[in-house]
């Protein structure tokens, strides 16, 4: 959708309706319809502008295209912000900048679908504590984008690690934590300047220990069964809310003059999920709890897009595949709470091997800087356990699968022709501790270059302070 147009037409419709209403009241007619009330699904549109790029051909590289293919001594051609072609023998356009990448690797940019950068930024002071609206177990009405502080130095650090797109989620204190926002990792003045154009919204939900710990002594839920009752009641309320709007729409279409239901921002987001417009990202560790949630999903006819953390996905990989739910996982975090006690190093490859969707995520301002190493650990641990997954396939955990989880795989997440030129040139094999991102391109623009310290992002917060522009 072209947002500026839709906003304009809405405004015009209002003007028109004011005129009509005025006319109607002057004539005293009861048959005239009031202006139809409708809701703008995108009131805070992206103002992102890509960094200007140039037609570029990277040559002699080892290339993982992100959809399972590996090319040796290959070329990657991108122009006008889009991937043009990947192959072993491409024609180099006359005006192209050619980068000889002998010994280097090219991959799609890393996509982290679980970050709290900007909502739990550095410095991690109380005044920056903007990730959890801990006032009610159901806060589907809050939007993470209204907490994002674009001056978080963490964005720049993640960029140096090859992260080109990231989802900022509310925290996991609440059953329904609110909406997420997807950002292009080009740190800029405002959240809107970073917002991924036309990415669908996500909504955060949380299972297990966190909600019951936070609300156990604040009116509940205090148990896992209380959590589930909370989800079910909220979905029921959302269904009721949808029926009210459907009735309004129908009566209006029938030429009647119905009163529009009062807008409820909480139920509006939940209804957005039930309609399939908003993707569900659910913090859930235990296999049995994830399975209960998939039952609730069937009961209320919505789709859980991704279980996050999903420490026990390896126990139910078959069920996750069956229900088409992704798992976003760490390589090796475990034990910090009981629901994380059964973490194993082979979780990610086990999920992949079962044919379910596996994602490497960070949930950490340090972890996000080396997600390639997280994938490398999972890949090698899987291999030793007999889950022999080629690197080219494993890279799906870092780009294609998170892109699917965020609903942007038609735009980014692989080096397929026509997609946004979000890619990383690594100074070696990215499945190694010693390899770094040499260059990071976002929409074809050079957003980071390891050997050019002028290209290293410096946030307002760091400007004029100790450490400004240092090796980060």
Partner 1 sequence: MKKLALLITASLLSAPVLAEKVAITGGKIFTLAEQGTLDSGTVLMTDGRIDRVITGTEVPQGYRVIDASGKVVTPGLVGSMTSLGLVEVSSSAGVVDSSVESTPITRTGAALDVSYAVNPDSSLLGVTRIEGMTSAATSVTYTDNLFYGQGAVITLSGDAPVLKPRAFMVVNVGESGANDTGGTRAALWVTLENALAEAAAADSDLSPTQDWHGLNTRADVKALKAVLSGDMPLIMEADRAADIRQVIAFKKRHNNINVVLMHGVEAWRVASELADADIPVILDPEYNLPGGFDQMGATLANAARLEAAGVTVAVGMDTHNIRLATQHAGNAVANGLSYEGGLASLTSAPAAILGIDDQLGSLAPGKRADVVIWSGDPLEVTQVAEQVFINGEAIEMRSRQTRLRDRYLAVQEEQARRPTHYVRPD
Q: How far is CA 164 from CA 49, 159, 402, 445, in A?
A: 14, 6, 12, 11
Q: Give kind and range of the element (H or E) at residue 464.
A: none
Q: Which two tokens stand for residue 375?
A: 């994938």
Sign of the torsion angle spanned by Cα atoms 264, 265, 267, 272: positive
Which DSSP string corresponds to 210-257? HHHHHHTTTT---SHHHHHHHHHHHHHHHHHHHHHHHHHHHHHHTT--
Closest approach, Cβ 215 to partner 1, in A, equals 14
**134 lies in the site for partner 1, by CB under 8 A:** no
**451 lies in the site for partner 1, by CB under 8 A:** no
DSSP β-ladder status, 279-284 and 304-309: parallel
Stretch that binds partner 1, among 14-22, 26-34, 91-99, 366-374 (CB under 8 A): 366-374
Sign of the torsion angle spanned by Cα atoms 227, 331, 302, 356: negative
Closest approach, Cβ 53 to partner 1, in A, equals 27
- Of residues 175 through 214, those in contact with partner 1 by CB under 8 A are 209, 213
Of 269 and 373, which has the nearer Cβ to partner 1?
Answer: 373
Q: Which two tokens stand for residue 397?
A: 């955990």
Q: Which of 318, 322, 388, 452 binds partner 1 (CB under 8 A)?
A: 318
Q: Which residue has the tokens 């192209």?
A: 96
Residue 333 has phi, psi (to 5 degrees) of -70, 140
**How many residues sit in the footprint of partner 1 (CB under 8 A)?**
56
**317 lies in the site for partner 1, by CB under 8 A:** yes
**462 lies in the site for partner 1, by CB under 8 A:** yes
- Of residues 247 through 266, those in contact with partner 1 by CB under 8 A are none
Closest approach, Cβ 416 to partner 1, in A, equals 28
Q: Which two tokens stand for residue 429?
A: 């094999």
**342 lies in the site for partner 1, by CB under 8 A:** yes
Stretch that binds partner 1, among 21-29, 89-97, 107-115, 371-379 (CB under 8 A): 371-379
Of 275 and 384, which has the nearer Cβ to partner 1?
Answer: 384
**456 lies in the site for partner 1, by CB under 8 A:** no
Of 3 and 377, which has the nearer Cβ to partner 1?
Answer: 377
Stretch that binds partner 1, among 50-58, 69-77, 162-170, 338-346 (CB under 8 A): 338-346
Contact 171, 209 (CB under 8 A): no
Tell me, what DSSP letter sits at residue 438?
A: E
Stretch that binds partner 1, among 42-50, 273-281, 336-344, 438-446 (CB under 8 A): 336-344
Q: Which of 260, 333, 450, 456 binds partner 1 (CB under 8 A)?
A: 333
Rounded-to-10 torsion of CA 461, 464, 469, 472: -50
Q: Which of 77, 370, 411, 439 binds partner 1 (CB under 8 A)?
A: 370
**434 lies in the site for partner 1, by CB under 8 A:** yes
Closest approach, Cβ 10 to partner 1, in A, equals 42
Of 314 and 395, which has the nearer Cβ to partner 1?
Answer: 314
Of 53 and 150, which has the nearer Cβ to partner 1?
Answer: 150
**384 lies in the site for partner 1, by CB under 8 A:** yes
**244 lies in the site for partner 1, by CB under 8 A:** no
**1 lies in the site for partner 1, by CB under 8 A:** no
**419 lies in the site for partner 1, by CB under 8 A:** no
- Start-to-end C-alpha separation, the chain: 39
- Residue 378 CB-density burial (10 A; 0-12 exposed, 13-18 middle, 19+ buried): buried
Beta bridge partners of 63: 71, 106
Distance CA 115, CA 99 (A): 32
Of 245 and 431, which has the nearer Cβ to partner 1?
Answer: 431
Q: Which of 194, 294, 350, 359 binds partner 1 (CB under 8 A)?
A: 350
**380 lies in the site for partner 1, by CB under 8 A:** yes
Distance CA 86, CA 78 (A): 9
Contact 401, 352 (CB under 8 A): no
**460 lies in the site for partner 1, by CB under 8 A:** no
- Of residues 139 through 178, those in contact with partner 1 by CB under 8 A are 153-154, 157
Distance CA 47, CA 191 (A): 9
The dihedral region occupied by 382, where left means phi > 0, alpha psi between -120 and 50, and beta the remainder, is alpha
Q: Chain centroid to CA 254: how far?
A: 40
List residues near partner 1 by CB under 8 A.
122-125, 153-154, 157, 209, 213, 314-315, 317-318, 332-338, 341-346, 350, 353-354, 365-366, 369-370, 373, 376-377, 379-381, 384-386, 431-436, 461-462, 465-467, 470-472
């Amino acid at each position: 959708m072209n947002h500026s147009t839709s906003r304009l037409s809405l405004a015009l419709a209002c003007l028109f309706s004011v005129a009509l209403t005025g006319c109607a009241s002057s004539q005293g007619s009861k048959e005239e319809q009031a202006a139809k009330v409708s809701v703008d699904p995108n009131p805070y549109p992206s103002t992102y502008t890509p960094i200007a790029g140039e037609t570029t051909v990277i040559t002699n590289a080892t290339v993982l295209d992100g959809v399972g293919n590996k090319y040796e001594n290959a070329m990657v051609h991108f122009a006008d912000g889009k991937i043009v072609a990947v192959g072993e023998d491409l024609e180099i356009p006359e005006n192209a900048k050619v980068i000889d990448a002998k010994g280097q690797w090219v991959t799609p940019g890393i996509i982290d679908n679980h970050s709290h950068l900007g909502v739990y930024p550095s410095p991690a002071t109380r005044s920056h504590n903007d990730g959890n609206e801990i006032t009610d177990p159901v806060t589907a009405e809050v939007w993470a984008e209204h907490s994002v502080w674009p001056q978080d130095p963490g964005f720049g650090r993640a960029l140096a690690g090859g992260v080109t797109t990231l989802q900022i989620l509310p925290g996991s204190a609440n059953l329904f934590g609110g909406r997420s926002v997807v950002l292009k990792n080009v740190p800029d003045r405002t959240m809107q300047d970073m917002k991924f154009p036309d990415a669908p919204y996500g909504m955060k939900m949380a299972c297990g220990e966190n909600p019951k710990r936070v609300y156990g002594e604040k009116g509940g839920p205090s148990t896992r069964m209380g959590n589930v009752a909370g989800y079910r009641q909220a979905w029921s309320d959302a269904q009721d809310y949808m029926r009210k709007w459907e009735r309004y729409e129908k009566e209006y279409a029938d030429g009647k003059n119905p009163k529009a239901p009062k807008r409820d921002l909480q139920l509006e987001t939940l209804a957005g999920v039930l309609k399939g417009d908003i993707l569900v990202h659910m913090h859930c560790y235990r296999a049995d709890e994830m399975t209960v949630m998939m039952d609730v999903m069937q009961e209320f006819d919505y789709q859980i897009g991704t279980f996050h953390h999903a420490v026990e996905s390896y126990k139910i990989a078959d069920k996750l595949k069956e229900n088409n739910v992704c798992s976003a996982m760490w390589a090796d975090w475990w034990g910090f709470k009981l629901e994380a006690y059964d973490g194993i190093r082979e979780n990610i490859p086990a999920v992949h091997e079962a044919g379910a969707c596996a994602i490497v995520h960070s949930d950490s301002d340090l972890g996000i800087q080396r997600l390639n190493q997280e994938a490398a650990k999972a890949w090698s641990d899987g291999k030793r356990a007999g889950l022999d997954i080629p690197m080219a396939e494993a890279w799906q955990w870092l780009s294609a699968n998170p892109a699917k989880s965020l609903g942007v795989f038609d735009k980014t997440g692989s080096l397929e022709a026509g997609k946004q030129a979000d890619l990383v040139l690594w100074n070696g094999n990215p499945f190694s501790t010693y390899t770094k991102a040499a260059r990071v391109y976002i929409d074809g623009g050079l957003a980071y270059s390891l050997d050019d310290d002028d290209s290293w992002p410096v946030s307002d917060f760091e400007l004029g302070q100790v450490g400004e522009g240092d090796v980060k």
